Chain A
């Protein structure tokens, strides 16, 4: 019964409020009040949406994601999750860190890392093992399940981190340039896997990148940030058909038009 109740309440909240929202958010580090890192940022992330955020390095993308995760508080303004003020991290919002090598527990195997979020959920051991096995299979990590992170390639480590986030069954996935350090081919594979996963699990996703094409290819919408201070300069509805395709989507005239538009914006400041 309580289950039904929470679900209804969540659904109610969702119908009236966006999944995530920033309301006039500003961030200042230390005493540098004259050089805010983020200024007057307002944006909504809709339920089930895949939102890409692009911007030059240093414009405050990571800071923005940490706000959404609840890992830090804004200096001014509000961060809302399903209509409620965020005052700390929550298991409902999973974060995929950019530096996957530091984010995995080096003393645990791949399976052990993925099991981490399941250990307090009151699951029995067989249930837990079954869920880890399912995630391992879904992320193509079968051969690596009993290996340690340091024995894996960057692409595999990032897969482990994503699998660990999925294990906590989040309602929102926050991803900070997750494919930034990977080679082009691995990156494209993971992009497609991520799109399939996000659609299948119906999880709201905020995806940070500095790669325009990646932002458009993945996103339902793209928000472009500019630096000094970090601010929203443009919001674009991508409007390309799904599922996306590495060849045809990227050759679609609409894709190229979006790319030109964003390129101009980010170049021109």
Chain B
């Protein structure tokens, strides 16, 4: 048996028991549905395009929010990282702002922007900018001094040092912040949709629940897991370098 098939054995067994017990009428799970019904509901949602449309809406706000948060976070992080004065003056303010849970800003976002894409993007951006800001200020503040000595010992030119050491070192660290923020972006976007904003996968989940369609709901949850996985994989290939961050000793 391969490692993969061994790992799949338990979930398959659970699915089989779940399916059989409801089919044979041993137990009925009114609010849980069962595997084949979930698969059918997922297939139907794919065919009629509804799940793809809400996926587009959610990804749109998550990624736009991430992008906006990254722009703001990199800018703030660079300022705070480069200027000791800025760090001292703005540090406590940022710490206080960072402490506000982003979901607590949903009502404010709604008041300012109303329902729709804009409010969601802004709240996601708010949540995403902090980890990126922290990663950026650390990246700007310190390229590992030993790496600069490696450059010295190789008599690297200024340009080579910038291109081969300083920029990749900063990118690798910022990439780690962006990766963290991506996970946050998806969670915050779906949360906003569940709580206040009638669009995207979060709202679709609410609709499925309200129309008593647990099969649809489960299909959507599985779909969300897939999206999170896919986005992360995408980002790993984009900044493959970040994987080396931190010491391996």
Contact = CB atoms under 8 A, between A and B. Distances in A.
B249 A95 contact: no
Contact of A89 (B152, B171, B249): B152
Contacts of B152: 71, 88-89
Contact of B153 (A95, A99, A120, A149): A95
A103 B244 CA distance: 13
Contacts of B243: 148, 150
A149 B244 contact: yes
A205 interface: no
Interface string A228-240: 0000000000000
Given A116-B164, A150-B246, A103 B155 contact: no
Contacts of A103: 146-147, 149-150
A154 interface: yes
The SS class assigned to the B binding surface is: helix
A101 B165 CA distance: 15
A82 B146 CA distance: 26
Residue among B153, B157, B171 with max Cβ neighbours from chain A (10 Å): B153
Given A97-B146, A148-B243, A181 B249 contact: yes
Given A148-B244, A152-B248, A157-B248, A107 B155 contact: no
B153 A150 contact: no
Nearest to A168: B154
22 contacts: A69-B153, A89-B154, A89-B155, A91-B153, A95-B149, A101-B247, A102-B146, A102-B147, A105-B147, A105-B164, A105-B165, A106-B172, A106-B241, A106-B245, A107-B172, A107-B241, A107-B244, A108-B168, A108-B244, A150-B245, A150-B247, A168-B154
Interface of A: 69, 71, 88-91, 93-95, 97, 99-103, 105-108, 116-117, 119-120, 148-152, 154, 157, 168, 181
Given A89-B153, A91-B153, A120-B156, 5 more contacts: A105-B244, A106-B248, A108-B168, A108-B244, A150-B243
